[in-house]
Amino acid sequence: MSFVPNQFDDVSIATIRTLAADVVAKANSGHPGAPMGMAAVAHVLFSRFINANPKNSQWFNRDRFVLSNGHGCALQYVLLHLLGYKLSLDDLKAFRQIDSKTPGHPEFHHTDGIEVTTGPLGQGISAAVGLAIAQAHLGATYNKDGFDLINNFTYVFAGDGCLMEGVASEAASLAGHLQLGNLIVVYDDNHISIDGDTNVAFTEDVPKRFEAYGWDVLHVDDGDTDLKSIYEAIAKARTTPTPTLIRLRTTIGYGSKQQGTHGVHGAPLKADDIQQLKTKFGLPADKTFYVPEDTYAAYKEVGVRGAELESKWNALLESYKSQYPTEHAELTRRISGKLPENWEKNLPVYTPADAAQASRKLSEIVLSKLVPAIPDLIGGSADLTGSNLTRVKGMVDFQHPSTELGTYAGTYIRYGVREHAMGAIANGLSAYGGIVPYVSTFLNFVSYAAGAVRLSALSGHPVIWVATHDSIGLGEDGPTHQPIETGAHFRALPNCAFWRPADGNETSAAYKWALTTKSTPSILSLSRQNLPNLEGSTIDNAVKGGYVVHEVEGEALTIVSSGSEVSIALEAASKLQAEGIKTRVVSIPCWLVFDQQPQEYRLSVLRSGAPILSLEALSTTGWQKYSHEQYGIDTFGASGPYLQVYEKFGITGTNIASVGKKVVDFYKKKGGDVVSPILKAF
């Protein structure tokens, strides 16, 4: 293939540049520099390479485009509009306004044609590695001779900021290891970041670094105007067997009087600057939001080509159906987002007679049942497989076949010690479709991935974190590895289901909920130590997020707890009972889900009439919502055998019984009604 210029190229690029300037100016907020600098490459990429149908942004085999430098989203919004996605000129005029389709950074699910949420630097390029893995995996799984059904590329635009972020380094190293030839990153090397020239902080040899990761690196020296070189670089990148970084030298804010300076990075251009810009590029200086007919015509053609591609693909899929009916049924089911019928019947059920086990082990048992039943599950761990217990029998590693360590059809990813990239990659796997990713590390190190977990929650990616060793119960590794604040952190994160199951049935319930939701990530907080199976726990109870695990009438005290401490609460209750103090026990494995239950139910669980004491081997922060009194750990933990650490922090049946007595006495002395803490004024 070689570059064939057309009559619309210049006017299209001029339109992108001036429209982006107008969009930012109208909002009086935003980043014009990157859109203007990257207009040429954007035009070449979208007009010549990207296979997508603007009229159906969900076509499964579309090329994925990720604007990792999401602050430059005026560029992406302009392109989506020109291409004919559901984004009008009025939407562009509402840039960065309340409830518009064009928020300050691109958001998945919010705007037609946005593949993943970007803006927090490094997230886009890392999620793109997930998109690329998804293609490689589904292609290897479902493509057949003559049926190259899943063969899209993933294209990324990224700036200096993204490449400085550690999460992107992690993801790029893994992408190189996995030899993801379907991944093409255009690095906008404009020598400018917010603090000014990149010379102040970023002087490493980026191409050499990416070569060290096993990437190809191509160079385009004039990214502002040299369409031919841009074209040739992208064309070449599509043919190489490794991921490619195209280092594109551009001028930030190209065409502005301030081009090439930090002044055009994050502030609108002045009116006179925009006017001279339009004049310079042959567009009327006095018109705003002006799109020449030629530009619309050029992009309409691109859309027509995309629609044809989809039609052909649909026909291919039909023909696949007759030759490979089983694979077709499975693939289309996966694309639809439905899990296999009756998958949940595989969930193990327990009685108190079953042996005590660590909830990480209970999780492994669930996975050992579900992985064979749900091919959508793609697991992995950040180098803690043997501790997280996430690689179940029969799983094959996802590896490039040349390594002989696995294949692209494999469903277990060796993420290496790269928690943050793992979280971002999982977002990409989920966004691609047809895949339900679960990832794992110690609960304490989910915090390393906080930026990615936040975007899971904001974007509604139902990623599952298998987060083991979830308290002081990990014992000897000590306070550097013992989470304290982690529960409060992720419970406070909107749309994040932090599950802390107490036993086997609750572990099954957590998986049941996590796999049923289509729009919420789950963190399964799991113990290293053994937990008994509780009388009173059932999947149906636990899947409500909270329930009474031990009921008595006329109680003097309720203890509300989660995870590994529920059995300790039950032990305390039984000691109190022996002293004539009637004590109920409530288990709340997931706050988010419990809060979604009807108030009547919640009030029946956390009822008025007696004080409620919370118990958890984590920070007490937030438990005030469900209890009058709180017992937990508001300092760092300690290194030692786990039972001794529990003893040190007073989390034993004996001590909690004694604390419970204090609570009962205090409320007796206080007098008056004891009202449920969830009864609220508004």
One residue of 18, 117, 179, 190 binding Ca ion per CB under 5 A: 190
Residues numbered 439-468 forming contacts with its own copies, rule: CB under 8 A: 444-445, 447-448, 450-451, 454-455, 457-458
Residue 457 contacts residue 494 (beta carbons within 8 Å): yes
Amino acid at 398: F
In order, the DSSP letters of 205-224 are -HHHHHHHTT-EEEEES-TT
192 DSSP β-pair partners: 197
What residue number has its CB nearest to Ca ion?
160
Q: Is 165 in the site for its own copies (CB under 8 A)?
A: yes
Does 62 count as an annotated binding residue? no
Largest CA distance in the chain: 90
**Chain-centre distance of CA 223, in angstroms?**
32
Report the nearest approach of Ca ion to the CB of residue 17 (Å): 17
Task: Of 456, 484, 480, 457, give the one whose Cα is nearest residue 470.
Answer: 484
Nearer to its own copies, 24 or 509 (CB): 24
Residue 489 contacts residue 453 (beta carbons within 8 Å): no
Q: Is 68 in the site for Ca ion (CB under 5 A)?
A: no
| Residue window 144-163: x/- pattern of binding to its own copies, with contact defined by CB under 8 A | ----------------xxx-
Q: Is 619 in the site for its own copies (CB under 8 A)?
A: yes
Q: Is 166 in the site for its own copies (CB under 8 A)?
A: yes
Selected range binding Ca ion among 21-29, 192-200, 281-289, 491-499, rule: CB under 5 A:
192-200
| Helix H or strand E segment including 377 | strand 377-381
One residue of 70, 113, 159, 521 binding Ca ion per CB under 5 A: 159
Does 360 count as an annotated binding residue? yes
Cα radius of gyration (the chain)? 28
Nearer to Ca ion, 193 or 587 (CB): 193
Q: Is 621 in the site for its own copies (CB under 8 A)?
A: yes
Tokens of 125: 């390029």
Residue 377 contacts residue 411 (beta carbons within 8 Å): yes
How far apart, in whole angstroms, are the C-alpha atoms of residue 3 and residue 48? 9
- Neighbouring residues of 567: CB distance < 8 A, sequence distance ≥ 6: 502, 503, 531, 532, 534
Report the nearest approach of Ca ion to the CB of residue 379 (Å): 23
**Chain-centre distance of CA 374, in angstroms?**
20
Nearer to Ca ion, 8 or 187 (CB): 187
Catalytic residue set: 419
How far apart, in whole angstroms, are the C-alpha atoms of residue 679 and residue 676? 6
Residues numbered 263-322 forming contacts with its own copies, rule: CB under 8 A: none
Q: Is 160 in the site for Ca ion (CB under 5 A)?
A: yes
For Ca ion, how many residues bind (rule: CB under 5 A)?
5
Report the nearest approach of its own copies to the CB of residue 264 (Å): 14
Selected range binding Ca ion among 117-125, 154-162, 473-481, 665-673, rule: CB under 5 A:
154-162
Rounded to the nearest 5°, which phi and psi values hold at 3?
A: -75, 130
| Residue window 362-391: x/- pattern of binding to its own copies, with contact defined by CB under 8 A | -------------------x-xxxxx----
Does 137 count as an annotated binding residue? no
Report the half-sphere exposure of 576 (CA within 13 A, side-chain side): 29
Q: Is 79 in the site for its own copies (CB under 8 A)?
A: no
Task: Of 563, 458, 466, give the one whose Cα is nearest residue 520.
Answer: 458
How far apart, in whole angstroms, are the C-alpha atoms of residue 168 and residue 614? 40
Three-state DSSP class for residue 466: strand
Q: Is 638 in the site for its own copies (CB under 8 A)?
A: yes
Residue 531 contacts residue 502 (beta carbons within 8 Å): yes
Does 48 count as an annotated binding residue? no
Rounded to the nearest 5°, which phi and psi values hold at 172?
A: -70, -40
Selected range binding Ca ion among 76-84, 160-168, 469-477, 636-644, rule: CB under 5 A:
160-168
Tokens of 504: 């086997």
Residue 418, binding choice from its own copies, Ca ion, none, Cβ under 5 to 8 Å by partner class: its own copies
Characterize the bridge pairing of strands 583-587 and 547-550. Answer: antiparallel
A 10 A CB-CB count for 330 gives: 17
Residue 130, binding choice from its own copies, Ca ion, none, Cβ under 5 to 8 Å by partner class: none
Does 71 count as an annotated binding residue? yes
Residues numbered 647-676 forming contacts with its own copies, rule: CB under 8 A: 648, 659, 662-663, 665-667, 670, 672-673, 675
Residue 187, binding choice from its own copies, Ca ion, none, Cβ under 5 to 8 Å by partner class: none
Nearer to Ca ion, 159 or 589 (CB): 159
One residue of 56, 597, 644, 652 binding its own copies per CB under 8 A: 644
Q: Is 484 in the site for its own copies (CB under 8 A)?
A: yes
**Chain-centre distance of CA 622, in angstroms?**
24
Amino acid at 509: A
Residue 420 contacts residue 448 (beta carbons within 8 Å): yes
Residue 548 contacts residue 597 (beta carbons within 8 Å): no
- What Cα–Cα distance (Å) separates residue 672 from each residue in 584, 610, 611, 618? 20, 11, 11, 31
Residues numbered 194-233 forming contacts with its own copies, rule: CB under 8 A: 194-195, 199-206, 208-209, 211-214
Nearer to its own copies, 373 or 638 (CB): 638
Nearer to its own copies, 386 or 554 (CB): 386
How far apart, in whole angstroms, are the C-alpha atoms of residue 89 and residue 77? 10
Selected range binding its own copies among 49-57, 167-175, 298-306, 317-325, rule: CB under 8 A:
167-175
Three-state DSSP class for residue 441: strand
Report the nearest approach of its own copies to the CB of residue 160 (Å): 7
Residue 62 contacts residue 259 (beta carbons within 8 Å): no
Q: Is 223 in the site for Ca ion (CB under 5 A)?
A: no
Nearer to Ca ion, 193 or 505 (CB): 193
Selected range binding its own copies among 112-120, 274-282, 336-344, 507-515, rule: CB under 8 A:
112-120
Q: Is 259 in the site for Ca ion (CB under 5 A)?
A: no
Residues contributing to the annotated binding site for Mg(2+): 160, 190, 192
Can you give the binding site for Ca ion, defined by CB under 5 A?
Answer: 159-160, 190, 192-193
Residues contributing to the annotated binding site for thiamine diphosphate: 71, 119-121, 161, 190, 265, 445
Residues contributing to the annotated binding site for substrate: 31, 265, 360, 387, 469, 477, 481, 528
